[in-house]
Structure 1
């Protein structure tokens, strides 16, 4: 019998399947509330939040709230978190701006799922500090450096995938602020500038278009939608999609990865292309284990799992696709983002590029860019 509160996709995943997957994530959760990549693995804030979102979508709200409380307790005074923590010890103190911003998506998602305003109010100061930390790394043109160093200064280039994800985070942060009656007009401007640069300034980002995330993240993050998004997805479909298996992480290596496959499915769902989204979810089920967990990837050239680990964030991506396609939880539209603020409309005159109005949904697909340098998520 179908569980009414748990996502299910007919012919692909039952509600019991999805719940089993959620329980593998919960089983990896540490007593502190942190959710590592796998038991004994490291924690990063982005994948931790993605896993918490999956727990919320599957109805494991207590476990999800433990994950968010961990972030509230461990936030540093400047609003950031270390990029890598293992068993409570910092292994990499660098603050990745995208990792820090993603909390806003998780908190808004959990509030949508649960309608718990007290939770939202408790988490708001943590979200606000994180977003301010991130926006301090934004340039006048609009892109955001991928990291800030120990001295707090922006470090390194801007990354397209990370900035596209931050675009979504800012929209969720603004939705949370508006809901709580604490509007942030400055963030509206910053979001408009970021959306403009994502749509019109490929030169702002370090080019690494070998990576599939650079291809679909401007769509998933909401900066590019409509016909430009359809053209963007069609333009490199053959480069990344391996029929029957999923999608490549990078275009020149013979492996497919489950999380990237699911994120492309979520991107297609934002465009109303639900049939192909469901097809991708079905294609990557060869990564599923009997307990409901998912292997990270598969090298189809020699038929081997690689890397040899089952990651919580891969399982989380599966649950979020199932929820989006089934329209089950009240947070199922978090990536379609139809009700999220779009930011202040910005025209090209502010940076001299001559492009037209660029706030909200974009009018061009002139973006290039970068994705992660490993299987680690944006």
Structure 2
């Protein structure tokens, strides 16, 4: 039985400030002494969700905990710029490096800058950001997408998994815009990131059929919008295409189209995507709808299986709490970081130049990579 939708308060604030800070405190409670933020106590840490939690901690007035999380990221980055995919209590469980996870350090660092305006902190993170995005850009495929991961063998980088994930590459597009913004802040322009961003943005807008088919997952539906590559009328059309497939009124959105299971993190991310394209009404309603996942201590269940009327799995996850905090911040303008997904403070969209897919560049110039490099040197 579908639960009735929560009421949206007249102020448009689904959660008030005290509730946001309460939820941030639940993330701190699960943070390990090393600074790592695992999914839940005893589970693994991956750097993407870890950094999403760090961003939420900045919003929730937990700067010291957030900066311990950033310090963990600096300490655990490998020489090639990547992080192990899974770390459990300080021990690497999966050595492979995933491109979108590594790239996200740029978004988190830019978000810290927006909230704290601490240039010294940005400069302390800049070498980590630079190595991470250099690693990611090196994995770009001929059609513009980014290879999703690289294996590690005997302590060294190994085989590249040379296929691209649509959601992961969409997140990387967001990260490249944040990285270029950081590069401008520290005075170290990164032309290769801009070129890679142009090719990637084109692939996300025009060649989504060349990415791995993960179309049963809601993330593949909304992430090109959330990551910023698809905006305007095209974004509204894309979100309309599968709205009825994934959105369950009164509950949130499905993680996978084939399962009767709504998840809080995906719902909050769709809220952020809707806010980014100006669809504030539906964003507010969805955020209100998923509050049935909130517990009395401010943490959030991962998801809910509605035929059984049960929360599943039986855990409250840091990444769900973090996504909710960022969604609330976006809708209320609670901090200067509220714009992080709308992206108006990021580097502008990249020019489509140096394309290898056979398409004409967006401006019709046909200018290649070498010409752009000369022009921007």
If the length of structure 2 is used for normalisation, what is the TM-score?
Answer: 0.90
Distance of 2:358 and 2:59 partners within structure 1: 44
Q: Which runs of 5+ in 2 are unaligned?
A: 1-9, 366-377
Q: 1:331 to 1:349 in 2, by over 3 A?
A: closer
Is 2:329 aligned against 1:323? yes
Q: RMSD value over aligned CA atoms? A: 1.7
Distance of 1:261 and 1:13 partners within structure 2: 15
Secondary structure of 1:148's aligned partner: strand
Number of equivalences: 352
Find the partner of 1:47 among 40, 46, 49: 49
Tell me by how many angstroms 1:10 deviates.
4.5
* Among candidates 15, 18, 21, match of residue 20 of structure 2: 18
- 1:111 and 2:117 correspond: no
What residue is the counterpart of 2:124 in the other structure?
A: 122
Where 1:13 maps in the other structure, the secondary structure is coil
Change (3 A) 1:255 1:358: farther
CA distance in 2, matches of 1:232, 1:349: 24
Q: Does residue 308 of the first structure (1) align with residue 314 of the second (2)?
A: yes
Give the structure 2 partner of residue 76 of structure 1: 78
Shift of 1:346: 1.5
Name structure 1 gaps, 5 residues minimum: 1-7, 360-378
The answer to whether the 8 A contact 2:201-2:350 is kept is no
Deviation at 1:228, TM superposition (A): 0.3
2:166 and 2:220 in contact (8 A); partners too: yes
> Residue 101 of structure 1 contacts residue 130 of structure 1 at CA under 8 Å; is this kept in 2?
yes
Distance, in Å, in 1 between the alignment partners of 2:273 and 2:38 is 25
Cα-to-partner distance string for 1:144-173 (whole Å, 9 max, x where unaligned): 110011134421410000000000001001
Contact 1:142 1:196 in 2 (8 A): yes
Higher relative contact order (CA 8 A, sep 6+): 1
1:58-207 matched pairs, under 5 angstroms: 58-150=60-152, 151-207=157-213
Closer, same or farther in 2 for the Cα pair 1:156/1:283, shift >3 Å? same
Contact 1:189 1:343 in 2 (8 A): no
SS class of match (2:337): coil
* Alignment partners' CA distance in 2, 1:351 and 1:253: 36
Task: Pick which of 347-356 and 280-289 moved more.
Answer: 347-356
Q: How far apart in 1 are the matches of 2:364 and 2:244?
A: 29
TM-score by length of 1: 0.90
Residues in 1 aligned to 2:141 and 2:13: alpha-carbon distance in whole angstroms: 47
1:233 to 239, 250, 253: 239
Higher-Rg structure is 2
The answer to whether structure 1 residue 30 and structure 2 residue 21 are counterparts is no
